[in-house]
Structure 1
Amino acid sequence: MRKLLVLILSLFMMVLSFATTIKGKVIKVADGDTITLLEESGDKTRVRFYGIDAPEKKQEYGIKSLDVLKKLIDKKEVEIDVKDKDQYGRIVGVVYYNGMNINLHMIETGNAWWYKQYSKHNVEFGIAEEKAKLEKLGLWKEDNPTPPWVFRKNQKNNRN
């Protein structure tokens, strides 16, 4: 019985290790932190970028953030380091293109916020955001840009 349990646990761990990375071609950039990927298997997968939150399209700087991401990875082959699934069923992960961490790049260039609520311990994202603020890059050209989570909350409250 114990050998069977060890075998099942080993197989489960193998499956988990294989399922943590997916590859494919970006077929749609929805906004500055969400893409649709055509996986090598032929499956279409929506991916939400881990640890960042980009301005909404209807928000100031939203289209610019979208355009920056499009120029970086639209129609390109990327690799996703899968972290989780969100409440909408999207994969949440770190996106890499030619070895570049695109999530981090979006923060470094002032095209997204560090989403602290979901990645508190990611010191690298925090440092990148502070540097972008100091250099007044991207959305940080404004003195006090509205974070997307505040924008969404305000939009929801205005509908009620």
Structure 2
Amino acid sequence: MKKILLIFLLLGTLVFGEILVGKVIKVYDGDTITILVDGKKEKIRFFGIDAPEMKQNYGVESRNFVRSKIMGKKVKVKIVNTDKYGRKVGKIYYSNNRYLNLECVKTGNAWWYEYYAKKEYDLKLAQEQARRSRKGLWREKNPVNPYKWRKNKK
């Protein structure tokens, strides 16, 4: 039993403690990118945030914010897990270790995805500050959480 547990822990560390470094070759929206790592494409979903969908209010602005920061540039991704679509989910760092997920929330370009990142208090605080300051999507009178927006479209 101890051997099985040890193997499980080691495998989990390999997959979820993984760090990828690659060039951003596509920005789909404000929370999903593709990077090129050693000639292999990796689709990455940002951990802890949920950006407006492209057809949702502020979706284009959110994507353009991410593009302006990292398109064509080298990023480091700390993998946290894998989502139900098989995408790696991670924390994105660029230019001298700047944490892009946090920047997206601070500037009002994404919501803190509380359901998946309850303990990410830096994201929670950033959202509270962006909301109070009416930054980005918080300029709208009644911004709609992307999760609710997607649910209503089904």
Could you tell me which residue of structure 2 aligns to residue 111 of structure 1?
109
CA RMSD of superposed structures (Å)? 2.1
Could you tell me which residue of structure 2 aligns to residue 47 of structure 1?
44
User: In structure 2, do the counterparts of structure 1 residues 17 and 61 end up closer, same or farther at CA, with 3 Å as the change threshold?
Assistant: closer
Cα deviation, residue 12, structure 1:
3.4
Cα deviation, residue 42, structure 1:
1.1
Segments of 4+ in structure 1 off by > 3 A? Answer: 11-15
SS at match of 1:69: helix
User: In structure 2, do the counterparts of structure 1 residues 43 and 19 end up closer, same or farther at CA, with 3 Å as the change threshold?
Assistant: farther
Could you tell me which residue of structure 1 aligns to residue 135 of structure 2?
137
SS at match of 2:115: helix
Contact 2:31/2:49 (<8 A) preserved? yes
Cα deviation, residue 46, structure 1:
0.4
Counterparts of 1:101 and 1:121, CA distance in 2: 16
State how many pairs are aligned: 150
SS at match of 1:94: strand
Counterparts of 1:64 and 1:111, CA distance in 2: 7
Counterparts of 1:90 and 1:105, CA distance in 2: 21
Counterparts of 2:76 and 2:21, CA distance in 1: 4
Task: Say which one has the larger Rg.
Answer: 1
User: In structure 2, do the counterparts of structure 1 residues 149 and 50 end up closer, same or farther at CA, with 3 Å as the change threshold?
Assistant: same
Could you tell me which residue of structure 1 aligns to residue 71 of structure 2?
74
**One-letter amino acid of the counterpart of residue 65, structure 1:** S
Aligned with 2:86 (options 72, 86, 89): 89
TM-score by length of 2: 0.90
Counterparts of 2:12 and 2:90, CA distance in 1: 19
Could you tell me which residue of structure 2 aligns to residue 60 of structure 1?
57
| Structure 1 unmatched runs, 5+ | none
How high is the sequence identity, in percent, across the aligned residues? 45
TM-score by length of 1: 0.87
SS at match of 1:145: coil
